[in-house]
Amino acid sequence: MNSAVIGVGSNINPEENVSKAEQEVGLLGESLRKSGFSYTKPLGYKKQDDFLNGVFHIDTPYAYDELNDRLKEIENRLGRIRTGNKSGPRTIDLDTVVYNYQVRDADVFTRDFIRDPVTEMIPELEETLKCVNYKNHFRTVQGIIDKILSLMAASPLSVPDTDKQGRNPPETNPAGKSAYPLSVYGTGQWFGDGQKTTGSIDFLVITENAGNETEQRIKRELNRSGLGMIGSSPVNVRLFIPQELKDLPREVSGDAEIAEQPGSFAGELPLSILLYRSPGPS
């Protein structure tokens, strides 16, 4: 199952349409949770009613693109009329803003009515969403993560024994091969760690496929695609298997704080911000 946070907005019979959308979205997976909702003033086009905004969190079997297709179908069924005015009134607006812990919509950084409900649903994303530098370079960061994921999917990844024994069904990466779930963290000055003196930007990848050859291939491909440098800062990628986490330092010099993110690896990684976690057995 994939974790998805879906932004919801309506200013035409909003309470009725949000309720209908909740029922429809609930059919796309399981364990739907609803954030608090609030009315906000319209952005852009002002001559319309206030919007009712919030988010749904759902565990869904749908891949990202498939989920978005299903959301568009729900919008159509609830009477969404698409015009040239993208800021105009609407019965319902459904957008996937976070998918498997990866931010998918840059608006979440600048619009409180999206960011606050998202952090209500997934508190461990608060550091990421407050990080100004991550917001400013959102698309580049997303490009790096997408590149890492595509390279990790380029060859078969190892599957834990628990998966082979059938206790946890193996997950599938974008290339269709079995893959242990991986997590990607960002750390360094660029991500807002003001007390860290290094000028490099580090992406820490937690995966069973942490061989040196894979790590070097990722670095080569990032450089080849122009993603190995951001501004004057080099981008480094390090791969760790979960067992190696216990050997990482729990503290760093000075008074820098470790970013505590319950239920994730971040408590083991100094000054890290969770950027992506793939689906998989817990």
Q: List the catalytic residue out of 59, 93, 105, 146.
A: 93
**Residue that has been written with the tokens 């988010």 in this structure:** 55
Q: List the catalytic residue out of 65, 77, 82, 90.
A: 90
Which is it for strands 273-277 and 183-188: parallel, antiparallel or unpaired? Answer: antiparallel
Q: List the catalytic residue out of 59, 80, 107, 111.
A: 80
Q: Burial-class residue 35 by CB neighbours within 10 Å (0-12, 13-18, 19+).
A: buried
C-alpha dihedral, 248 to 254 to 256 to 262, nearest 10°: 40
Judge whether 250 counts as a catalytic residue. no
- From CA 101, how far away is CA 57, in angstroms rounded? 11
Judge whether 93 counts as a catalytic residue. yes
**Residue that has been written with the tokens 């909702």 in this structure:** 37
Judge whether 77 counts as a catalytic residue. no
CB burial readout 271-282, b (16+ within 10 A) else e: bbbbbbbbbbee
Judge whether 107 counts as a catalytic residue. no
Q: Give catalytic residue positions.
A: 80, 90, 93, 95
